[in-house]
Amino acid sequence: MIPRYSTPEMAALFSDQARMELWLEVELLAVEGWAAVGVIDPAVPVELRRRAPKVDGAFVAAVEERERVTDHDVAAFVDVVQAAIGAPEGSWIHYGLTSSDVVDTALCATLTRAADLLVQGVDALVAVLKARAAEHIGTVMTGRTHGMAAEPTTFGAKLALWCLAADRDRTRLERARQALSVGKLSGAVGTYSNIDPAVEAHVCAALGLTPVPATQVVARDRHAELLYACASLGTTIETIATEVRHLARTEVGEVEERFGSGQKGSSAMPHKRNPILSERLCGLARLLRGYLGAGLEDVALWHERDISHSSVERVALPDACGLAYYMVRRCTGLVEGLVVHPERMRSNLLDASHGVVFSQPVLLGLVAAGVGRDVAYRIVQRDARLAWEQGRPLRRILDEDPEVTVDHAVLDAAFDVGRSVRHVHRFLDALASVP
C-alpha cells in the first residue's frame, strides 16, 4: 500500500524483512522438530540458531540478488541462509520441506497478527460509536428514505445501528483469524511423504498455529474469508461516511467533520469545509471490495497447487489488511470528532418539513376516529402537498380542512415528536450486550 494510506504497525507486518524473519523461524523450528523425533543430533538446531543470519536490509538485498539467478524467492532465501550458516549444519535448512510449507505457514502467522490489529481497531470504533449513541439517543432529527423526509428518528439511533454493524464486522474478523490460525508442513502434495507430522506439530505449536490437512498449500477459502471480513468492515465504514457526507451538505447542515486549526477546505474558496475524510473513506471502500473478488478467484487452483494465487496475494492481502486498518482508525477519529448540530436537526425536522413528517400518525388518527383508510389517506396526502406548496404548517392546514373533523387532541398526539421516538431506548438496549 502506498505510504499515504499506510500505518506503521500494519506495514511492518508485511515488510520483506518481517516476511523473511518468519521464513527463517519456520526453517529453524523445523530443524528443532527433526531433532525432537531423533532424525537430527539435538546439537544441530542449537548451532543453527547461534549462527543464523540477522534478517536486516542487507540480508533482504542478498536474497533479492540471489533470486535474480534462481528466479525463485524461497530457493534464493534458502541459498543465502545456508551460505551464512555454513556446512555441515546449514544443509539441514529446508530438510524435507517444500516452499509452501514455509511460505504458507509464515503467511498464516502474519495474517493472524494482522487480524489481531484489525480487531483492536474495530474495538476502538465500536467503543466510540457506543458512547456517541448514548450521547445522542435523544437528539431528534429527520429520518429519510429515498433521500426524502420520512418520519422522526434520533441521531443516536443511527449511531447505535452503526455500532451493531461494526460489532458484527468484529465477529467476522475474529472468525477469519481463527480460520487462518493454521499451518502446514506436509510436503509437496500434503502427504507427509518426506516429513514427519511431528515436525509440523512442533512448528505450528511454537507459532501458535493449528496443523491442518492440506494439499501443497493451505486452502485459500481461509484467506478469502479474511478478505470478506475486511471488505465488510470497509462497507460499514462507507455507510457511516456516506451518511456524514449527506448530513454535512450545506442545505442540510446537521453534522460536520472536525476542522483543524490551519486546515483549508479549498485552494480557491476560503469558506469551504468539505467532508474530505468521509469522501476518502468511501473511495477506499471501493478499492477494498475489489480485493475480495481476487481472493475468491484464488481459491480454485490446479490439482494440488499452482501459483496463480501467489502474485495476487502479494498485493491483495497486505493491501486489504493495510487499507482496512487505515480506514477503521480514520473512521474512529471521524466519529469521535464529529460536530453535531442538534438545533439544526430539530429545525429541519419541525420547521423545514412544515410538519409533513407526521403524516402517518395523522392518517392513523383519522382511521382510528372512523374515517375510511383510503379517504383518510387522500385527505392527508392532499393537505401535506398543500403544506409543501404553500410553505405552511401541515397542522394549520388540517385545522382549516372541513373534512378533518377529529378532536384537536388527536392531532396534538399525532404531532408530538416525543411519541414518534418514545421507543428509541431499544437501540441502547441492543448495545448493552456489545462489549
- Residues 91, 193, 266, 308: which is the catalytic one? 266
| Residue 223 grid cell | 484467506
Active site residue 223: no
Rounded CA separation 83/51 (Å):
11
Rounded CA separation 122/137 (Å):
22
| Residue 351 grid cell | 420547521
Please state, as a whole number, how many other Cβ atoms lie within 10 Å of the Cβ of residue 246: 15
Active site residue 266: yes
Query: Hey, which residues does 183 pair with through a beta bridge?
Result: 211
Rounded CA separation 10/18 (Å):
11
Identify the H or E element spanning 69.
Answer: helix 57-70
- Residues 146, 261, 271, 433: which is the catalytic one? 146
| DSSP-assigned letter for residue 255 | E
Q: Helix (H) and strand (E) counts for the chain?
A: 18, 6
Rounded CA separation 21/18 (Å):
5
Contact 30, 200 (CB under 8 A): no
Q: Grid coordinates 425536522 are at which residue?
A: 349
**Helical pair 57-70 and 73-85, crossing angle rounded to 10 deg:** 120
Query: Secondary structure of the chain: what % helix, strand, coil (to 5)?
Result: 65, 5, 30
* Amino acid (one-letter) located at 130: K
Identify the H or E element spanning 150.
Answer: strand 148-154
Identify the H or E element spanning 256.
Answer: strand 255-256
| Residue 244 grid cell | 456524514
Contact 358, 420 (CB under 8 A): yes
Q: Of 29, 48, 73, 38, which is closest to residue 209 (Cα–Cα)?
A: 29
Contact 20, 60 (CB under 8 A): yes
Rounded CA separation 324/230 (Å):
6
Q: Over the range 105-139, which residues count as b (16 or more CB within 10 Å of their CB) and which as e?
A: bbbbbbbbbbbebbbebbebbbbbbbebbbebbeb
Rounded CA separation 152/350 (Å):
9
* Amino acid (one-letter) located at 342: P
What's the CA angle centered on 214, arms 213 and 215, to 5 degrees? Answer: 145
Give the residue numbers annotated as catalytic, written as ranges.
146, 266
